[in-house]
Amino acid sequence: MGDSQYSFSLTTFSPSGKLVQIEHALTAVGSGQTSLGIKAANGVVIATEKKLPSILVEESSVQKIQTLTPNIGVVYSGMGPDFRVLVRKSRKQAEQYHRLYKEPIPVTQLVRETAAVMQEFTQSGGVRPFGVSLLVAGFDDKGPQLYQVDPSGSYFSWKASAMGKNVSNAKTFLEKRYTDDMELDDAVHTAILTLKEGFEGQISGKNIEIGIIGADKKFRVLSPAEIDDYLAEVE
């Protein structure tokens, strides 16, 4: 349509009312590695595939799941370098909030501020939108929470969500398996099974990454050995 004529400039609406660059950013996300998150009754789990471009890559140096504050973690689908920049900015914002109010930043506030940064890059000159969607998992006074933030800057709270290559299959699987009273361990098992659905090759503790936060409000990334234990339970 006339849309393609408007796909050059980020800050121009196309006749159909879309910002085509953001659509393209979402496509970039959709071709990234699958990641998903599940909110349990007493915690949140986020997980992602960790497919490395070659067996020669030092796998322990790649960490896709990052900690933003002691009680908030984040995973992405899309472009890794864009993710790094967002993680840096979010950590700084969380620290600034803490310095100002002397309380740990609530999950909603951090998500809002990160989304605001992503939105800024959709309305400025000379920049492009971030090519990542984020899944933010946190546990604060309001309980466990899971948020998805898109390149456009919009964010939603989810009970369970997936992004990346296998998103439609993963979401269907999650819809069938999700229950409101799930415990954290069940959620981890469900996450692993969902990843397994679309996984090419042999799944192991070395090619997936899982981060959990429980009632102790401490976000941590599971070690490959712990993931292997969970995998053995699932088999």
Partner 1 sequence: MSKSVIDLPPKGGFSFDLCRRNDMLSKKGLKSPSFLKTGTTIVGLIFQDGVILGADTRATEGPIVADKNCEKIHYMAPNIYCCGAGTAADTEAVTDMVSSQLQLHRYHTGRESRVVTALTLLKKHLFNYQGYVQAALVLGGVDCTGAHLHTIYPHGSTDTLPFATMGSGSLAAMAMFESKYKEGLTRDEGVKLVCEAICAGIFNDLGSGSNVDVCVITKGHKEYLRNHLLPNPRTYVNPNGFTFSKKTEVLLTKITPLKEKVEVIEGDAMEE
Chain contacts with partner 1 (rule: CB under 8 A):
11, 67, 88, 91-92, 95-96, 98-99, 120-121, 123-127
Is the Cβ of residue 51 or residue 92 nearer to partner 1 in the bound state?
92
Is the Cβ of residue 149 or residue 163 nearer to partner 1 in the bound state?
149
Is the Cβ of residue 96 or residue 179 nearer to partner 1 in the bound state?
96
Is the Cβ of residue 98 or residue 196 nearer to partner 1 in the bound state?
98
* Nearest-approach distance from CB 74 to partner 1, in angstroms: 12
Q: Which two tokens stand for residue 202?
A: 């042999």
* Nearest-approach distance from CB 19 to partner 1, in angstroms: 14
* Nearest-approach distance from CB 132 to partner 1, in angstroms: 17
* Nearest-approach distance from CB 71 to partner 1, in angstroms: 13
* Nearest-approach distance from CB 151 to partner 1, in angstroms: 16
Is the Cβ of residue 127 or residue 193 nearer to partner 1 in the bound state?
127
